[in-house]
Amino acid sequence: MPETPPSALDAVLATLEAPATQERNLADLFRLLAQPSISAQGVGIRETAAIELDLMQAAGIDTRVIETPRQPMIYGEWLGAGPDTPTVLFYGHYDVQPPDPLDLWASPPFEPTIRDGRIYARGVADNKAQHFSHIAAIRAWLETTGSLPVNVKVLLEGEEEIGSPSLDETVRAHRDLFAADLVYTSDGPITDDAYPEIEFGVRGMCYVELRAKGPNRDLHSGHWGGAAPNPIWTLVRALNTMIDDQNHVLIEGFYDNVATPTPGARAAMDALPFDVSAALARIGLDRMTPPDDLPYADRIMARPTLNICGFTGGYGGPGSKTIIPSTATVKIDMRLVPNQTPDEIWEKIARHVATHAPGVEIVRMDGGMLPSYTPVEHPLAEPVRRAIERGFGKRPIDIPLTGGSLPDATWTKTLELPSFMVPYGAPEQANHSPNESYRLERLWQGMATSAALLAELAAGASSE
């Protein structure tokens, strides 16, 4: 692979730091932020896609729209580095969450405003400033050197905030178009402000609802108590067959496919510098759920969960009401780890309910999400680490698995590519909340990291 002279990257970084470039990049980002793109409400999607197309073309990326059954995707490429050079696929999303409640915003959500070194706008952190950093880095390379050290593809979708319903089928339908050596995503906040990080995977999910029926209407508990079955007790008993007091899930085969973390993932989990006691204190807790001896990292990254999200039934209003309720429901999410699948877990929990809780109806809420991971040991992780070190001035920590819900399995399972998630945002950026914000400092650091990534990928997987 060709060596990129360090001077080329230095020159690109100087371009990015030049006041004129920073001013133009801010203006371009503000244009994007001023345009609402609320996928949940179908607001401003086409208009935003047109701006993205424009910005990517202005950067020198050959860009077009890919239609999906729902919202359009923007796809661009620059393949001038040649077939013997790696190709990186940048993924991001241009849609945003609804801005409500509006009265809690200090400045209007679609009028980007800088206060105290931060940009305030809906979607600035999630995800416009983050994917715009890649576009700005590509532009700086092309303006400064006339070329890129590696091939680049960029895919921006407009449905991430509604669960990326078209992504996987679109990628399947255009497999050749998305051929690459790695996928690189900057989204979400980092976990701890003190360290940049690489996330190597995400937990999967299977979501179900249990329903129990009792009498055909609520009954007087004096007239019928002891005679009519109570559907809430039916569900409590069903739930009790699923988990023990140490949170070990009792559904047959639930842990069968749980992968042991690779040696690299194990070492990364053991080395995580997070202060768990402080994190617990911030949420008003002084201990984790049993078992006591399980390390924090294992809970989040190596063990699946069975979680009750909600329990509905009977009377919950003020005072007392003496009834035997007619119905009860419980919602359960199961967070999955490699190599579990939502289909397999659905079959196991459905069989468990049929066996241990006859009469309880179980319904699958959606297709769920596959867990996804790239080995921490992957050779392309090293150039990614070096790029982050260049952009943020610190060596990143490796996070083998996160709880986020990015469609990472599309890259690792459908395309069978390594995928690295490198959040450029800070922990306090208020994604999905009023007053979403993004630190200007991180905007410049993210652009520098994206620019350095192209040089480091060209320099190769192993060189130091």
Give me the residues that bind Zn ion (CB under 5 A), please: 126
CB of 119 to Zn ion, least distance (A): 17
CB of 398 to Zn ion, least distance (A): 23
Kindly tell me which of 126 and 456 has the beta carbon lying closer to Zn ion: 126
Kindly tell me which of 28 and 126 has the beta carbon lying closer to Zn ion: 126
Question: What is the Cα Rg of the chain in Å?
Answer: 25
Kindly tell me which of 77 and 126 has the beta carbon lying closer to Zn ion: 126
Kindly tell me which of 126 and 408 has the beta carbon lying closer to Zn ion: 126
CB of 97 to Zn ion, least distance (A): 6
Per-residue CA distances from 283 to 246, 263, 416 (Å): 22, 32, 38
Closest Cα partner for 154 from 9, 38, 42, 53? Answer: 53
Q: In what order do the strands lie in the sheet with 73-78?
A: 62-66, 73-78, 151-157, 87-93, 182-185, 419-421, 197-199, 397-399
Kindly tell me which of 336 and 430 has the beta carbon lying closer to Zn ion: 430
* The token pair that represents 143 in the structure block: 């303006």
Residue in the shown chain whose Cβ atom is closest to Zn ion: 126
Report d(CA 38, CA 122) in Å as an integer.
10
Burial class (CB in 10 A: 0-12, 13-18, 19+), 133: buried
CB of 34 to Zn ion, least distance (A): 19
Kindly tell me which of 52 and 126 has the beta carbon lying closer to Zn ion: 126
Per-residue CA distances from 169 to 48, 164, 173, 209 (Å): 22, 10, 6, 27
* Residue entry with tokens 């402080």: 278
* CB atoms near residue 336 (< 10 Å): 25
CB-CB contact of 208 with 323 (8 Å): no
CB of 130 to Zn ion, least distance (A): 11
CB of 404 to Zn ion, least distance (A): 9
Kindly tell me which of 127 and 419 has the beta carbon lying closer to Zn ion: 127
CB of 432 to Zn ion, least distance (A): 6
Contacts of 371 (CB under 8 A, 6+ apart): 201, 202, 203, 204, 336, 337, 338, 339, 340, 401, 409
